[in-house]
Chain A
Amino acid sequence: MQAFKENTDFEVRTLDAICVNDSKLTHKWYHNIKYLFVGLVFGIVFVKAEIISWFRIQEMFRLQSFHMYGVIGSAVVVGMISVWLIKKFSIKTMYGEKIEFHPKIFNMGQVYGGLIFGLGWAITGACPGPLFAQIGTGATVIVVTLLSAIAGTWVYGYLREKLPH
């Protein structure tokens, strides 16, 4: 229960399950370097498979190419099988912790927010991950898009209590 006491904003975060810090262990900061390397590989895949391309996203939303559907579909299948294996064999983390999954609770924000994000996705040709990779490829003006996305996140936090969920 220690974690619950420390996590004073638990109620705020239940609506936002992907932001939960699952590990109860504390590590030195340099343990985070491993995430940098996972991100690095991920960024290379993003560029090499042209997932960060505005053109590929336009093709997806116009049903002109199978590419993005193949990428997302096969990612989900591999993710599903992986999660199933982790659960079936009770695979632990490299630190020996039990791997935890957090149920996402439905709220109308997933509908309203989802539609709003979809509109933005088709304009910018990027979800949040590709924004970082696009900047890395030298499309420096996307820094403005990223800052604007951070501003959008901030405004959501500011208006949160007034929005329907």
Chain B
Amino acid sequence: MSFLEWIKQPWPWYIAGPMVGLTVPTLLIIGNKSFGISSSLRHVCPACLPANIPFFKYEWKKEIWNLFFVVGIFFGGMIAVNLLANPEPMQISTKLTAELSGYGITDYSGLMPNQLFNWPALLTVKGLLMIVFGGFLVGFGTRYAGGCTSGHAIMGLSTLQWPSLVATCCFMLGGFVMANLILPFILSL
């Protein structure tokens, strides 16, 4: 097996997790930056539409590193899918595929379910809920909580902060409720 074939396989958690964890010291050492991604969504607000809101009155230009970081994530996604894509279909739990087939989801060719997330879906109630309303909850909730999976679950827990543990537990609780109790209704729309 060549190096390229080897690296094109899906990476196991024990490789990916430590690499994500190493982002914490990397950002601290290269510029004293606390790892956190949802802040990037905040910095766009004062840059585009500050509207005299106190929460957006800060020098966003000083935080521009965060926007460079997320632009990097975008390009990373592009490189990975174009140069390092896994030729095999994704291995998904048979329990999940059985459940999803009940909602007519049968296409597992992409990392995202193409049948749910596509442009024409925006004209359906299901699509609006999943693409637009879901995104709104992510943006509103992360800022309300003061961070997301990176800022609270990874950076916050790495620095042993109990408020981040509370936040992380709430993220998981919200996710369990949605995936198991509410999403079935949305998917059957």
Contacts and interface: CB of A to CB of B under 8 A. Distances in A.
B134 A120 contact: yes
Interface string B124-155: 00000111111111111111111111111111
A103 B15 contact: no
Interface string A122-152: 1111111101111111111110111111111
A18 B18 contact: no
A157 to B, nearest CB: 4
Contact of A74 (B14, B40, B69): B14
A74 B33 CA distance: 21
A153 B140 contact: yes
Interface string A35-60: 11111111111111111111101111
Contact of B162 (A18, A86, A106): A106
Q: Chain A at the B interface: mostly helix, strand, loop or mixed? A: helix
Nearest to B86: A48
A42 B117 contact: no
A76 B158 contact: yes
A28 B22 CA distance: 25
A76 to B, nearest CB: 5
Interface string B159-188: 111111011111111111111101100100
Q: Interface range on chain B: under 10, 10 to 19, 20 to 34, or 35 or more?
A: 35 or more
Interface in B3-27: 7, 10-27
Interface string B53-91: 111111100111110111111111111110010100010
16 contacts: A22-B34, A23-B33, A29-B64, A32-B68, A36-B75, A38-B69, A76-B153, A78-B24, A83-B28, A115-B177, A117-B171, A120-B140, A131-B138, A139-B110, A157-B53, A163-B144
Given A99-B32, A127-B149, 14 more contacts: A13-B58, A18-B155, A35-B68, A35-B69, A39-B76, A40-B73, A61-B175, A64-B95, A101-B159, A109-B145, A120-B140, A121-B149, A145-B138, A156-B55
Interface of A: 6-9, 12-13, 15-23, 29, 31-55, 57-62, 64-80, 82-83, 85-86, 91, 93-95, 97, 99-107, 109-129, 131-142, 144-158, 160-161, 163
Interface of B: 7, 10-42, 44-45, 49, 51, 53-59, 62-66, 68-81, 84, 86, 90, 92-93, 95-96, 99-100, 108, 110-113, 116-119, 121-122, 129-164, 166-180, 182-183, 186
